[in-house]
Amino acid sequence: MRKYAPNKFRSLTVAARCLALMLFFCKPALAALDIEITRGVVRTIPIAIAPFDVSNPNGPNDMARIIANDLNHSGQFQVMPQNRLPQQPHDADAISSDLWKTLGLDDLVIGRAVPTGSGQTKVDMTLLDLFHSTQSTPTILMQRSYTVANSQTRALAHHISDVIYEKLTGEKGVFSTRLAYVTVQPMPNNPRHKLYSLMVADVDGHNAKPLLTSTQPIMSPDWSPDGGSIAYVSFETKLPQIFTSDVATGRRRLISSFAGINGAPAFSPDGRSLAVALSMGRTNPNIYTIDLGSGRLTQLTNDAAINTEPSWAPDGQSLLFTSDRGGAPQIYRIDLGSLQAQRITYIGAYNASAAYLPGSSTKISLLHRDDRGFNIAIYDLQSGTMQTLTQGGSIESPSPAPNGRMIVYSTNVGGRRMLGMVSSNGQVNIRLPEVSGDAQAPAWSPYKG
Amino acid sequence: MQARFKQSFGYSFFFHIVLAIIFFVSLSDSLITIPPASSAKEVQNNKEIVNAVAISEDDLSKEIRTQQAADNAVKAKAANEARQLAAAKAQALAQIQQAKQEQAAIAVKQQADAKKAADQLAQLQAQQKQAAQQLAQTQAQTAAAKKTADAAAAQKAADAKRQALQQAQKASATANNNVQTQNEINRYVGLITQAIQAQWTQLPGAAQQKLATTMIIRLAADGTVLQVQNVGSSGNPALDRLALTAVYKASPLPVPADPSLFASFRELKVKFSDT
Nearest CA of chain A to the CA of B161: how many Å? 23
Please tell me if residue A400 touches chain B, with a CB cutoff of 8 Å.
Answer: no
Q: For residue B240, what are the contacts with CB-CB under 8 A and spacing of at least 6? A: B213, B230, B233, B234
CATH code of the domain occupying B203-275: 3.30.1150.10
CATH superfamily of the domain spanning A45-169: TolB, N-terminal domain (3.40.50.10070)
**Residue of chain A nearest B185, judged by CA positions:** A33
Task: Quick: pLDDT tens for A155-207.
Answer: 999 999 999 999 999 889 999 999 999 999 998 888 889 999 999 999 998 99
Percentage of the residues of chain B whose pLDDT score is greater than 90: 17
User: What residues of A are in contact with residue B241 (Cβ under 8 Å)?
Assistant: 129, 132, 168
Mean pLDDT confidence for B42-62: 55
Q: Which residue has the higher pLDDT, A262 or A58?
A: A262
According to the model, what pLDDT value does residue B39 have?
A: 46
Please tell me if residue A172 touches chain B, with a CB cutoff of 8 Å.
Answer: no
Closest listed residue to residue A361, CA positions, set A314, A425, A404: A314
Please tell me if residue B216 touches chain A, with a CB cutoff of 8 Å.
Answer: yes
pLDDT classification of B36: cutoffs 50, 70, 90: very low
Nearest CA of chain A to the CA of B246: how many Å? 8
According to the model, what pLDDT value does residue B32 have?
A: 42
Q: Which residue has the higher pLDDT, A139 or A224?
A: A224
d(CA A271, CA A223): 9
Nearest CA of chain B to the CA of A36: how many Å? 5
CB contact (8 A) between residue A37 and residue B272: yes
Selecting from A106, A131, A171 the residue whose C-beta is nearest the C-beta of B205 gives A171
Please tell me if residue A405 touches chain B, with a CB cutoff of 8 Å.
Answer: yes
d(CA A165, CA A73): 11
Nearest CA of chain A to the CA of B141: how many Å? 42
pLDDT at B77 > cutoff 60: yes
CB contact (8 A) between residue B267 and residue A33: yes
Q: Which residue has the higher pLDDT, A367 or B258?
A: A367
How is chain B split into domains, by residue range? Answer: 2-80, 203-275
User: What residues of A are in contact with residue B200 (Cβ under 8 Å)?
Assistant: 37, 39-41
User: What residues of A are in contact with residue B231 (Cβ under 8 Å)?
Assistant: none
According to the model, what pLDDT value does residue A26 have?
A: 44
pLDDT at B47 > cutoff 70: no
Which of B181, B201, B215, B262 to probe by mutation at the A interface, max A CB count within 10 Å?
A: B201
According to the model, what pLDDT value does residue A41 have?
A: 82
**Residue of chain B nearest A35, judged by CA positions:** B270
d(CA A225, CA B88): 115
CB contact (8 A) between residue A168 and residue B239: no
pLDDT at B45 > cutoff 80: no
Residue A68 near residue A50 (C-beta atoms within 8 A) = no
According to the model, what pLDDT value does residue B3 have?
A: 62
User: In degrees rounded to 5, what are phi and psi of residue A253?
Assistant: -140, 130
Task: Quick: pLDDT tens for B125-160.
Answer: 777 777 777 777 767 777 777 777 777 777 777 787
User: What residues of A are in contact with residue B273 (Cβ under 8 Å)?
Assistant: 36-38
Nearest CA of chain B to the CA of A32: how many Å? 5
User: Per residue, what are the HEC states of chain A?
Assistant: CCCCHHHHHHHHHHHHHHHHHHHHHHHHHHCCEEEEECCCEECCEEEEECCCECCCCCCCCCHHHHHHHHHHHCCCEEECCHHHCCCCCCCHHHCCHHHHHCCCCCEEEEEEEEEEECCEEEEEEEEEECCCCCCCCCEEEEEEEEEEEHHHHHHHHHHHHHHHHHHHHCCCCCCCCEEEEEEEEECCCCCCCEEEEEEEEECCCCCCEEEEEECCCEEEEEECCCCCEEEEEECCCCCCEEEEEECCCCCEEEEECCCCCEEEEEECCCCCEEEEEECCCCCCCEEEEEECCCCCEEECCCCCCCEEEEEECCCCCEEEEEECCCCCCEEEEEECCCCCEEECCCCCCEEEEEEECCCCCCEEEEEEEECCEEEEEEEECCCCCEEECCCCCECEEEEECCCCCEEEEEEEECCEEEEEEEECCCCCEEECCCCCCEEEEEEECCCCC
Task: Quick: pLDDT tens for A74-122.
Answer: 888 999 998 899 888 998 888 888 888 888 899 999 999 999 988 999 9
Mean pLDDT confidence for B48-57: 52
Which of A26, A27, A35, A136 to probe by mutation at the B interface, max B CB count within 10 Å?
A: A35
Mean pLDDT confidence for B221-249: 90
pLDDT classification of A361: cutoffs 50, 70, 90: confident
CB contact (8 A) between residue B193 and residue A35: yes
Task: Looking at the structure, give the CATH architecture of the domain made up of residues A178-444.
Answer: 6 Propeller (2.120)
Amino acid symbol at B200:
W
Task: Quick: pLDDT tens for A305-340.
Answer: 999 999 999 999 999 999 999 999 999 999 999 999
CB contact (8 A) between residue A35 and residue B196: yes
Which of B208, B217, B241 to probe by mutation at the A interface, max A CB count within 10 Å?
A: B241
According to the model, what pLDDT value does residue A237 have?
A: 96
CB contact (8 A) between residue B202 and residue A40: yes
Please tell me if residue A131 touches chain B, with a CB cutoff of 8 Å.
Answer: yes
The 10 Å CB-count burial string (b at 16+, else e) for A220-229 is: bbbbbbebbb
Between strands A438-444 and A178-186, the pairing is: antiparallel
**Residue of chain B nearest A403, judged by CA positions:** B205
**Residue of chain B nearest A426, judged by CA positions:** B204
According to the model, what pLDDT value does residue B170 have?
A: 66
User: Per residue, what are the HEC states of A203-238?
Assistant: CCCCCCEEEEEECCCEEEEEECCCCCEEEEEECCCC
User: In degrees rounded to 5, what are phi and psi of residue A219?
Assistant: -140, 160
CB contact (8 A) between residue A132 and residue B263: no
Amino acid symbol at A23:
L
